[in-house]
């Protein structure tokens, strides 16, 4: 890594380093999607360590989740491309009564090059929209169908991306990823009005920044730091976050 890159990384990681994290989340039933890697896996480990019960979903392999030996962890397969194959997830949700949802599942949708207008694969596009955007609506349908979860649901956090911000877009390209995150943002904002009105649920979107993960192996901050900051944010003043699109420091990002 060149010196300029090293300096940039130093200042970037310093921006997100904190000595003490608030962590007042315990005794909750938490649903985490995309939990077998990256941010979802880090949130799973962190929330389990704080004595919560976690229902963790995965797409295909659950190998990282299987390594966590904790009686409070339940693992269930839910491929968010096939949203109609939800019976196993539904069963688990009905057993649990969810208090918090961290919706982490996401895909980039192919290389930057494959996401140029000329090369767009519309089947892929639809698939990514299903995973990154629409599937959270299906998950919410299942939760709303379960009356005890509806009553309990305190917080829903969608892990979005600043690539979905219409205002901040000055680079173009990445049509699939950007559109899917913009759609997720729109759904988030809508739910923050709807679900907050009906059930007082706090709904917001987070851009996690540049995090080392399956999607971004060269990311600059560790997924554990990201998880700590997300827990810190909801521990300090979750009420104030409803309807917002924020970064890991709680600073607002334009939709
Ligand atoms: N890392 C970053 O720098 C960054 C920046 C901005 C936003 N984000 C967002 O952060 C979220 C978490 O990503 P990450 O960085 O932690 O990357 P990651 O390690 O790749 O995690 C994404 C998770 O989503 C799961 N997933 C993919 N397709 C799925 C499907 N069809 N059904 C269910 N789950 C599926 C993946 O499962 P498999 O492992 O089985 O594929 C994986 O566990 C994503 O929404 C991403 O867009 C990340």
Does residue 4 fall inside a structural domain? no
CA distance 225 to 104: 15
Does residue 12 fall inside a structural domain? no
106 lines ligand 1 (CB under 6 A): yes
> What's the mean pLDDT when you consider all of the chain?
95
Report the CATH number at residue 189: 3.40.50.720
Q: Which of 12, 38, 76 to mutate to test the pocket of ligand 1 (most atoms within 8 A of CB)?
A: 38
Percentage above 90 pLDDT, the chain: 86
Nearest CA, atom 7, ligand 1: 161
Average pLDDT of span 78-90:
94
pLDDT-derived band at 6 (thresholds 50, 70, 90) equals confident
Does residue 5 fall inside a structural domain? no
Supply the range of the domain harboring residue 238.
Answer: 25-246
Model confidence pTM above 0.85? yes
pLDDT of residue 51: 97
Does residue 19 fall inside a structural domain? no
* Number of domains within the chain: 1
Cα 32 versus chain centre, distance: 8
Distance of CA 132 from the midpoint of ligand 1 (Å): 9
Backbone angles phi, psi at 174, to 5 degrees: 45, 50
Tell me the pLDDT tens digit for each residue of 238-251: 999 999 999 999 99
Tell me the pLDDT tens digit for each residue of 58-82: 999 999 999 999 999 999 999 999 9
Token output for 82: 């096939």
Bridge partners of 252, per DSSP, are: 246
In the predicted structure, residue 150 carries a pLDDT above the cut 70:
no
CB 114 within 8 Å of CB 177: no
Does residue 75 fall inside a structural domain? yes
pLDDT of residue 148: 66
Does residue 2 fall inside a structural domain? no
Token pair 């706090």 is found at 202
CB 16 within 8 Å of CB 248: yes
Does residue 172 fall inside a structural domain? yes
Distance of CA 185 from the midpoint of ligand 1 (Å): 16
HEC-encoded secondary structure of the chain: CCHHHHHHHHHHHHHCCCCCCCCCCCCCEEEEECCCCHHHHHHHHHHHHCCCEEEEEECCCCHHHHCCCCCCEEEEECCCCCCCCCHHHHHHHHHHCCCEEEECCCCCCCCCHHHCHHHCCHHHHHHHHHHHHHHHHHHHHHHHHCHHHHHHCCEEEEECCHHHCCCCCCCCCCHHHHHHHHHHHHHHHHHHHHHHHHHCCEEEEECCCCECCCCCCCCCECHHHHHHHHHHHHHHHHHHHCCCEECCCCCECCC
Does residue 32 fall inside a structural domain? yes
165 lines ligand 1 (CB under 6 A): no
């Amino acid at each position: 890594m060149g010196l300029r890159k090293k300096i940039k990384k130093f200042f970037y990681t310093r921006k997100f380093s904190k000595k003490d994290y608030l962590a007042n989340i315990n005794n909750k039933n938490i649903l985490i999607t995309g939990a077998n890697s990256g941010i979802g896996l880090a949130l799973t480990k962190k929330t389990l360590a704080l004595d919560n019960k976690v229902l963790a979903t995965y797409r295909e392999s659950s190998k990282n989740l299987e390594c966590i030996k904790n009686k409070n962890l339940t693992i269930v397969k839910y491929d968010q491309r096939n949203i109609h194959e939800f019976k196993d997830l539904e069963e688990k949700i009905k057993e649990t009564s969810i208090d918090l949802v961290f919706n982490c599942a996401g895909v980039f949708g192919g290389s930057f090059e494959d996401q140029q207008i000329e090369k767009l694969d519309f089947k892929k596009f639809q698939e990514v929209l299903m995973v990154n955007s629409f599937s959270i609506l299906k998950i919410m349908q299942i939760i709303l169908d379960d009356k005890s979860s509806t009553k309990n649901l305190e917080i829903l956090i969608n892990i979005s991306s600043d690539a979905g911000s219409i205002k901040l877009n000055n680079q173009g390209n990445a049509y699939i990823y950007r559109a899917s995150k913009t759609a997720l943002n729109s759904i988030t904002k809508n739910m923050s009005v709807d679900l907050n009105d009906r059930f007082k649920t706090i709904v917001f979107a987070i851009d996690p920044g540049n995090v080392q993960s399956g999607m971004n192996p060269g990311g600059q901050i560790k997924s554990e730091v990201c998880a700590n900051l997300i827990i810190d944010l909801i521990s300090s003043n979750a009420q104030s976050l409803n309807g917002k699109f924020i970064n890991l420091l709680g600073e607002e990002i334009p939709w």
